[in-house]
Structure 1
Amino acid sequence: MTDQMTASITGDSSKIAELKRQLQSSPEKKQLQLIPELVSTGAAGLDVLMEFLKEQQPTPVNLATGLAYQSLYQADTPIANEFLQTHFPTGIVPLSSEGGIDYRPLQQLLVKQDFLAADRHTLEKLCELAGPAAVQRKWLYFSEVESFPSTDLQTINTLWFIHSQGKFGFSVQRDLWLSLNKNWEKLWEKIGWKTGNSWTRYPGEFTWNLSAPVGHLPLSNQLRGVRVIASLLSHPAWSMKG
């Protein structure tokens, strides 16, 4: 091995060691910037992310652990896959359900960033929560939303929030709605569902990636008026811890 190669390996090791130190000690915003940098270093960086996730257990999931999990999932290496299957067999977000609903398919779609399919699947899950009549008609009455279990809404919301780096989810839409004094017209504009007098057309005019406006997804009312989304954003789930 030449001196130049040795110096290069030593330099890479020093860089990874410094990135690891920063990842362990930095606030979440900085961690989100460090994770893609670690991924770009290859296998050694993925090792750091695996160690980071093990150290974070069993603390509640946050955006940094969510991105670390997602990065390992998308790296799709044998070692990363074995690690995730061993330590996170159903994903990084706990898939709690009072209705006995399986949220694993939704989790997988969101990890893959297939936001269009995830949005459609979310509506299916909401209809399952509402019952057989809603499953058959494929849309919701606002009165059905009011009786949804908080646990399930929080699970769906957390999946969207964690796997969008905090950009999407019912809670994000709710925060924007409240910040706009519950003005729906301003909300539609803010989240990209309407421009002037023109509604955004589904699905082609919506943005199905992270370049979308904050709160753009999920399309919680499928543009069926205001009552369903009003019930969703007013649900007791958002005033609870969890």
Structure 2
Amino acid sequence: MSDFAGLSALVTGGASGIGRATAALLAERGARVAVLDLDPSGVDKPLLGYRADVTDDTSVRAAVAAAVADLGGLDVLVNNAGIGAQGTVEDNDDAEWHRVLDVNVVGMVRVARAALPHLRQSEHAAIVNTCSIAATAGLPQRALYSATKGAVLSLTLAMAADHVREGVRVNCVNPGTADTPWIGRLLDAAADPAAERAALEARQPSGRLVSAAEVAGAVAYLASPLSGATTGTALAVDGGMQGLRLRPAATR
């Protein structure tokens, strides 16, 4: 496909995981792509890499301005940068709550705020925020993370309403548990990594983790000019976790 030919895209958190898969797919489908990341040293051509800390407004504005200048404009923003958190409401102190909210929610605000003046000049402007199944399903030991992703879902809807008449579409993608470096680190830290992986796979009706490439495909769908009538939508990529309620597998 070449639906992004002639378009420019910016992907935050694009040096690894879902962000990297998304950046690569958009480039494959014709876009000029810039990646913003805390460590863009591993970003290879045709992708362009820029260092940015989404908790620092000055850093974000400088990186977005540099990327847009090099790209020659901006049509698509993928707000993907984020961090994880574990525990119930009792397990994280105020500082950790502020830290994770600052990255996962306010970080998206900072990047969108810097990008919107450029997006308004595009005929195919789109923002896709990386949300999570945690926004719509109660997951154990994920209180802080779920709170941030619930905020991202609401933020997406509000942004879609604010900017639809400016020609800027805003959607989000809600991955289930994805096979990313962050999940890999969680598994490595578990007492029984194999058992923990099996438990994560079992809670998704498809019986496996979501791949980064599958999430990237959903992001590309929402960002594509072919989806010009789609805005204010949350697209679940979760192996059926959001809506399916299967009966237990028959024993033999």
TM over 0.5: no
Q: Normalising by the residue count of structure 1, what TM-score does the alignment of the two structures yield? A: 0.26
Q: Which has the higher contact order (CA 8 A, sep 6+)?
A: 2
| Structure with greater Cα Rg | 1
More helix by share: 1
Flag the structure with higher strand content: 2
